[in-house]
Structure 1
Amino acid sequence: MKPYTKFFILFFSAVLALSCGNADDDVNFNLNLGDGLGKGKPVDDCLGLGEGDLVLSIQEQYTTLPGKVSIFFKVSDSDGDPVPGLTADQFTIYEQGRNDACFNTISASESLARISSNAQIFNNNTLLVLDLSNSVLSSSLAELQSASISFIDNFMPTTEEESFKMAIYWFDGENELHLLNPLTTSKQELIAAIEGITDDISNDPSTDLYGAVIRSTDIASELLATSTQGGKIGAASVVIFTDGTDQASRYTKDAAQQKVDNADPNISFFTIGLGGEIDTQVLTDIGKTFSVFAGNKEELENTFNDISFRVSERANSFYLFEYCSPKRDGSGENNLAIQVRDGNRQGAVQTKFNATGFTGGCE
């Protein structure tokens, strides 16, 4: 769907896509999403920016003396797909004070505009959940290890960042989700954990897929609740790999699906299926953000790479944009508009900030 009519229709479409499943459209931070802009609103017509192809959804904003304005937002396209990799020079800042008929452009260089680290206000946790039932251990363990290492290497930052953490769990037929490696920022620690998997790690050859879905969702929910304490914003991803269907039958498909569907919208779900014994519809429904399938073990690494790209795109489409405002103490509330350009696409959002106490200079 590519609507190019009224600005608000773009945003409504992005929110509506949440019910369509299997796309990177999981942007929902329980803020003011009635128009899809989070805490922002459509820009004033006086700017003449025209129709927008990109959506800037403000998640949080604050000011820091002597004069810094910080805006944390997510950028997605009109289909709800994340837009990662933007740089400060792709943003244009507009301010409107009490004496301005419309907005004035603020020089990005003079205002020291920058994209800053998200760590101070954003936490992103990922759970990699692996099926280590007998069918995997006996026939495709080496390929799974290689694919999992590739996933970790692609997704986790080379330099450790407090805002990016991953944990690894595994399941077989037991009534338990086994912890392989706790939540960490260390890529090397995660890789070592994968390399340490042996073919005798499991004592139960069955597959408790639905139990794994339910338990991993509960863990992701707990992590999200913890990571959003103290005013921080959080997101979580659950990535589940399996080569078969649920055999343990402790839980029903409906129970697992209900757990996924009722999860916090800040939790995204990805599934990876291997071989001819999987139920692609079940995995597509559970992996409501995105799902991929490998016909054989030789294709496994490519499917893991595909998912790592999707998870990374989502995590890296959040931006902390900061600049030094020329507004000064006494100017009160001022309107702020931010426009982003990415090739021939553009979008903008409007908000306000209070310049009380603002003086010259900026940290």
Structure 2
Amino acid sequence: MKFYTKIAAISFIIALFVSCGNADDDVEFGVNPGGSTDISGDLGLGKPVDKCLNLEGGDLVLSIQNQFTTLPGKVSVFFRVSDKEGKPVSGLEANQFTIYEQGRNDACFNKISPSESSARISPNAQIFNSNTVLVLDLSNSVLDSSLEELKSASISFVNNVMPATDSEVFKMAIYWFNGEDKLHSLTPLTHVKQNLINSINGINKNISKDPSTDLYGAVIKSTDTAEKLLKESTTNDRIGAASVVIFTDGTDQASRYTESAAVQKVDRANNNISYFSIGLGNEIDPSILKKIGKTHSVFATDKAQLETTFNEISKRVSERANSFYLFEYCSPKRDGSGENNLAIQVKYGNREGAVQTKFNAKGFTGGCE
């Protein structure tokens, strides 16, 4: 895999869009590797499309994460699609994208035939890692009153987030906390769904005797864990994303860490980490959980609603992971044409968006691998 920009490392810049209340997904990705140009807001490697195409002002945002070329003539672009509020758009297919190229002799862009270019959405396993960190409150109040419901909801969450067939792309780790100054590991990071389910089934009332809740400590420590996982999964030729999902039935009782320290930890975390929170019962503080779960938060009034709330969060996590696309096509440009402009347009229902970037056709001949 030969990266177009030949960068030694990838750094992420994400813009956070804050709306009233708790946004559906406040994160928009944007990559800004050293040496890239024409960075505009959250468009990562790209920039707004040339006005000659009349594609500006769309409702969707294409945020390019990386791009590379493969001889004899394939162009690959890895990007995320969201709406302007940051809500991920998943399930797109190749026929919903239109490609435009502009060479040195073109006044504007030329539309590239989908059939001749063999455009396709390819599995992103070769370039993408998605890590989920599920953090469960197992203080005595949960163990005594809602353990079985929590186990059932957690298993449903695992089944919804992890693919039917185990894949190295999607991994999850499960942790738990009580009043101790420790984030306990229930299941280390794994791509094997059954390992996660077995660990959840193994939880019993004897796992903890601590009646306190170190919620803020759990937030701080789970952020450190997610940062570490993200660093390990983001390398020269791979891009990583992470989601932290925290469940609790109350407020912080240990008073070991402050609310401001926990919220600050979330706000200053690597912006390629999304945060979700789930609250149960009438002893939670929704305003705090919304700050902790800045991407999305849900609340269950009683334990009968737990599975529903976990399912809602699992949907958000899954949609976000599946809003990344590896789009590939065979370019008609050939060796000697130099650097060419590329515009990609996406249409999703009555919404659309576009982004512009460039690639070098050095060494390009006919066809694709």
TM-score scaled by structure 2?
0.92
C-alpha separation between the residues in 2 aligned to 1:215 and 1:177?
Answer: 7
One-letter amino acid of the structure 2 residue matched with residue 242 of structure 1: T
Q: Is contact 1:29–1:265 with CA below 8 Å preserved after alignment?
A: no
Q: Map of 1:101-250 to 2, 5 A cutoff?
A: 101-250=107-256
String of CA shifts for 1:176-228, please: whole Å, max 9, x gaps: 11100010111111111111111111131211111111110000011111111
Q: Is contact 1:167–1:182 with CA below 8 Å preserved after alignment?
A: yes
RMSD in angstroms over aligned alpha carbons? Answer: 1.5
Structure 1 range deviating more: 170-179 or 96-105 = 96-105
Q: Which runs of 5+ in 2 are unaligned?
A: 1-13, 34-38
C-alpha separation between the residues in 1 aligned to 2:159 and 2:19?
Answer: 31
Structure 1 consecutive aligned stretches of length 4 or more whose deviation exceeds 4 Å: 18-21
**Partner residue, 1:5:** none
Q: Is contact 2:31–2:66 with CA below 8 Å preserved after alignment?
A: no
Q: Is contact 1:21–1:288 with CA below 8 Å preserved after alignment?
A: no
C-alpha separation between the residues in 2 aligned to 1:295 and 1:311?
Answer: 22
Tell whether 2:14 aligns with 1:22.
no
One-letter amino acid of the structure 2 residue matched with residue 45 of structure 1: K
Aligned length: 350
Structure 1 range deviating more: 20-29 or 247-256 = 20-29
Q: Map of 1:44-55 to 2, 5 A cutoff?
A: 44-55=50-61
**Partner residue, 2:3:** none
One-letter amino acid of the structure 2 residue matched with residue 28 of structure 1: F
**Partner residue, 2:32:** 31
**Partner residue, 1:344:** 350
C-alpha separation between the residues in 2 aligned to 1:175 and 1:41?
Answer: 46
C-alpha separation between the residues in 2 aligned to 1:293 and 1:21?
Answer: 14
C-alpha separation between the residues in 2 aligned to 1:313 and 1:16?
Answer: 18
C-alpha separation between the residues in 2 aligned to 1:77 and 1:239?
Answer: 22
Structure 1 range deviating more: 124-133 or 197-206 = 197-206
C-alpha separation between the residues in 2 aligned to 1:241 and 1:18?
Answer: 23
String of CA shifts for 1:305-334, please: whole Å, max 9, x gaps: 110011111111111100111111111111
Q: Is contact 1:115–1:321 with CA below 8 Å preserved after alignment?
A: yes
Q: Map of 1:283-294 to 2, 5 A cutoff?
A: 283-294=289-300
Tell whether 2:268 aligns with 1:262.
yes
Q: How far 1:18 moved relative to its partner?
A: 4.5
C-alpha separation between the residues in 2 aligned to 1:71 and 1:278?
Answer: 43
Structure 1 range deviating more: 166-175 or 155-164 = 155-164
**Partner residue, 2:85:** 79
Q: Map of 1:80-95 to 2, 5 A cutoff?
A: 80-95=86-101
One-letter amino acid of the structure 1 residue matched with residue 47 of structure 2: K
TM-score scaled by structure 1?
0.93
**Partner residue, 2:75:** 69
